[in-house]
Amino acid sequence: MEQYILVVIITAVIAGGLGVFVGRILLKKFNKKSEREAREKAKMILKEAEINAESIKKDRILEAKEKYFKLKTEYEEELNKKKNIIITNENKLKQREQVISKQMEQVKRQEAELESMKENLSAQLHSLQVKKDELDKVTKLKIAELEKISNLTADEARDQLVETLKDEAQTKASSHIKDILDEAKLTATKQAKKVVLDTIQRTATEHAIENCVSVFNIESDDIKGKIIGREGRNIRALEAATGVEIVVDDTPEAIIISGFDPVRREIARLSLHRLVQDGRIHPARIEEIVAKTEKNIEEEIIEIGERTAIDLGIHGLHPELIRLVGRMRFRSSYGQNLLQHSREVAKLCATMAAELGLNAKLAKRAGLLHDIGKVYPEEAELPHAVLGMELAKKYKEHPEVCNAIGAHHDEVEMTSMISPIVQACDAVSGSRPGARREIMDSYIKRLHELENMALSFDGVNKCYAMQAGRELRVMVDAENVTDERAGQLSFDISQKIEKEMQYPGQIKITVIREMRAVNYAK
């Protein structure tokens, strides 16, 4: 049994060895076959790659040739353009050279002419010098003769003349000093009054009646009862809603609206108008109408500001500045509507700046905004010019505009040429006749008195008061009034006006003496 098992084992070992040997032989054959197939396949891939590379090479060569020809064409075109430009410039240079040559010839001719004129002038100067020497000799002889006749030497006569002129100059200087002192006192008083009035209007403590009263006209007195309401409840509701005082008195067909804020007065007036038109007047309706009117007024204020800026050609204003410009419509300054005053100052500034060769747009902008501090809704202790300057800075206005606003009443130092223009135009707009409160009858009477006073002098033919009484033009008879007498006459008239009349500022007296010689050809 053991031998049998041993034979089986040996047989199995031999069979396994034969299997391994046969497997190796088969594996070698298989590997050779795979290697042969792989080589054939690699040869095919290489052949295809060579074919593709040749095709790509041909395409790239064609593309390169096309690009080369295209670049060559563009280069030739650019080169031709530059050649044409160079040729054109050369032609221009030749023309300029010709022009310069002609100019050089003209300059040479002019130099020759100037040299000739110089020689002529030298000869004339020599001749004049000879004549001057002769004139000096004659003058010395005349002076010697005059000294013999007057028994005075030339120095003594000169001293007497100097003393006479000195007395006359002292008299005129005293008069001018008095003019300057009076003008300074008057200006100081005027500025002090202006500051006080500005302060009163800004703080709203007390106002003149023209500044705090509006009149609402009604068709009949029967409507007054509806407006008053039962036991005055409608009046109380309207006053509480608008913040003004409603005065219903015996004035026929009119109701007085009193209040320091012109915007509130306008809201109350429009609200009354709508209530009377609607016919339903009771506290709830009053509050509703007042609320709508306030909204409409705010919209109207913004619309007025925008329309003003468009009319004046001013762009880029901050919305808050536009709203403040609109509020000027409901504000007065010394009886003059502030918006109209600001528009007028803006136009004057633009005109004056254009005449002086400055920036007219900046000047117009500064003129419109110069009184912006007067309509600032909040109470402030600053002067309105400084407050307006701070507002302009806050809303990014140009530094020159800010300085012009702050300096138009000399609160800050002027740092640009626009500032004195705004100051001058503000004075022009505010001081012209009729712009601010002044009784017209007294104004006309003063002008008549001024003209009659000048006409009372001998030799005066006509007299006209000009520039709102700031200048007096006197026409004199040329036959009866000499040039020396004309100068003395202007001085005498000024002295009489100072002694007998009261007037603001100063009056310029211009005496005009005209000599006419008339003949007729027959």
> What pLDDT shows up at residue 259?
64
> What pLDDT shows up at residue 154?
61
Averaged pLDDT, 480-491: 84
Residue 210 reports pLDDT greater than 60 = no
Residue 435 reports pLDDT greater than 50 = no
Residue 191 reports pLDDT greater than 50 = yes
* pLDDT tens digits, 277-306: 877 778 788 888 888 888 888 888 888 888
Residue 196 reports pLDDT greater than 50 = no
Contact yes or no for 269/214 (Cβ under 8 A): yes
Least confident of 90-94, 152-156, 318-322, 438-442: 438-442
φ, ψ at 247 (rounded to 5°) = -110, 115
72 residue type, one letter = K
Contact yes or no for 426/408 (Cβ under 8 A): yes
Q: Tell me the C-alpha to C-alpha distance, in Å, between residue 466 and each of 13, 195, 509.
A: 150, 29, 10
Averaged pLDDT, 89-114: 87
Kindly report the average pLDDT of the chain as a whole number. Answer: 78
> What pLDDT shows up at residue 458?
86
> What pLDDT shows up at residue 202?
41
Q: How confident is the model at residue 467 (pLDDT cuts 50, 70, 90)?
A: low
Q: How confident is the model at residue 372 (pLDDT cuts 50, 70, 90)?
A: confident
* pLDDT tens digits, 309-323: 888 888 888 888 888
Contact yes or no for 323/307 (Cβ under 8 A): no
State percent of the chain over pLDDT 70.
Answer: 79
Averaged pLDDT, 371-385: 78
**Assigned architecture for domain 209-300:** 2-Layer Sandwich (3.30)
* pLDDT tens digits, 153-162: 667 666 766 7
Least confident of 205-219, 230-244, 360-374, 496-510: 205-219
Query: Cα separation of 329 and 301, whole Å?
Result: 8
Query: Cα separation of 15 and 153, whole Å?
Result: 174
Please tell me whether residue 412 adopts helix, strand or coil conformation: coil
Domain extents in the chain: 1-108, 209-300, 313-431, 442-513
Cα–chain center distance at 466: 30
> What pLDDT shows up at residue 161?
63
> What pLDDT shows up at residue 504?
64
465 residue type, one letter = A
* CATH class held by domain 442-513: alpha beta
Averaged pLDDT, 410-426: 85
Residue linked to tokens 């010689």: 517
Query: Cα separation of 232 and 226, whole Å?
Result: 9
Tell me which DSSP letter residue 336 carries. Answer: E
Query: Cα separation of 50 and 61, whole Å?
Result: 16
> What pLDDT shows up at residue 200?
39
Contact yes or no for 346/449 (Cβ under 8 A): no
Q: At a CB cut-off of 8 Å and minimum separation 6, what does 346 contact?
A: 312, 314, 364, 365, 367, 368
Please tell me whether residue 315 adopts helix, strand or coil conformation: coil
Averaged pLDDT, 69-73: 87
Query: Cα separation of 180 and 177, whole Å?
Result: 5
Averaged pLDDT, 187-210: 45
Q: How confident is the model at residue 201 (pLDDT cuts 50, 70, 90)?
A: very low
pLDDT, greater one: 146 or 484? 484
Query: Cα separation of 212 and 228, whole Å?
Result: 21
For the domain covering 313-431, report its CATH number.
Answer: 1.10.3210.10
pLDDT, greater one: 314 or 204? 314
* Closest of 387, 388, 379, 382 to residue 203, by C-alpha: 379
Query: Cα separation of 244 and 255, whole Å?
Result: 13
The DSSP annotation for 428-487 comes to: HHHHSTTTS---HHHHHHHHHHHHHHHHTSTTEEEEEEETTTTEEEEEE-TTT--HHHHH
Contact yes or no for 301/321 (Cβ under 8 A): no
User: Does the CA dihedral 479-480-484-486 come out positive or negative?
Assistant: negative
Residue linked to tokens 């808050």: 320
Residue 206 reports pLDDT greater than 60 = no
Query: Cα separation of 260 and 201, whole Å?
Result: 9
145 residue type, one letter = E
First CA to last CA across the chain, in angstroms?
Answer: 188
Return the biggest CA–CA distance within the chain. 196
Residue 258 reports pLDDT greater than 60 = yes
Averaged pLDDT, 437-454: 68
Q: What is the pTM of this model?
A: 0.42
255 residue type, one letter = I
> What pLDDT shows up at residue 21?
77
Q: How confident is the model at residue 165 (pLDDT cuts 50, 70, 90)?
A: low
> What pLDDT shows up at residue 498?
85
Q: What share of the chain is helix, strand, coil (3-state, %, to 5)?
A: 75, 5, 20
Residue 195 reports pLDDT greater than 60 = no
Please tell me whether residue 113 adopts helix, strand or coil conformation: helix
> What pLDDT shows up at residue 152?
63
* pLDDT tens digits, 23-36: 777 777 777 777 78
> What pLDDT shows up at residue 248?
75
